[in-house]
Amino acid sequence: MKKLGTTLILSLVAISFALAQKYAFVDTDYILSNIPSYKAAEGELDKLSQQYENEVKSIYEEIDKMYREYQAEKVLLADEMKSKREEQIISKEREAKKLQNDYFGQEGLLYKKRQELIKPIQDEVFNAVKEIANENGYAVIFDSASGPTMLYTNPRYDVSDEVLQRLGYKN
């Protein structure tokens, strides 16, 4: 019985401590959409991505053309020529897959460009959020843009505009 009472008291103390903490939230999508350099970086990345996609697509179209020509001429070719043409098609497919990986892979050019353009802006936002949390004594600042994990948020606790102001942007 004494154990139950102690547990109950400790639980109440823990709950009251948790309720005394200050919480806030930000919407990083909203913040980033109000930063012109972020929009410009996204535009540049989209343009670069489209360029890479077009390059890869043209190689695959070339492979398709090579394959169709091979299929049309296959009955007329000697075994040695068939093997040579098949190897050319396979080689071109490897080239296309390698280029695709070089552009879009985990360590590809597009990823590196994204890191170069977007990461510094995201770091600035994170640092501004961190400063606001420290100055205002927030225990936790949630990101409402990262998914539907918050069922309700009171706009009173949204510090997104404060982050934008800290970064030097007016909204």
pLDDT in tens, 114-169: 999 999 999 999 888 888 888 888 777 888 876 655 545 567 777 888 888 888 88
Range(s) of the domain holding residue 46: 16-166
pLDDT score for 81: 92
Q: How far apart are CA 125 and CA 161, in angstroms?
A: 11
Residue 17 predicted with pLDDT over 60:
no
Is residue 7 included in any domain, yes or no? no
**For residue 171, is it within any domain?**
no
Q: What is the mean pLDDT of the chain?
A: 84
User: What is the share, in percent, of the chain residues with pLDDT greater than 70?
Assistant: 81
Domain membership flag for residue 1: no
Task: Assess if residue 51 is contained within a domain.
Answer: yes
Residue 47 lies in a domain: yes
| Inside any domain, residue 11 | no
Tell me whether residue 78 is in a domain: yes
- pLDDT of 111 strictly over 60: yes
- Report yes or no on 123 lying in a domain: yes
Tell me how many domains the chain contains.
Answer: 1
pLDDT tops 50 at residue 13: no
What per-residue confidence (pLDDT) applies to 161?
87
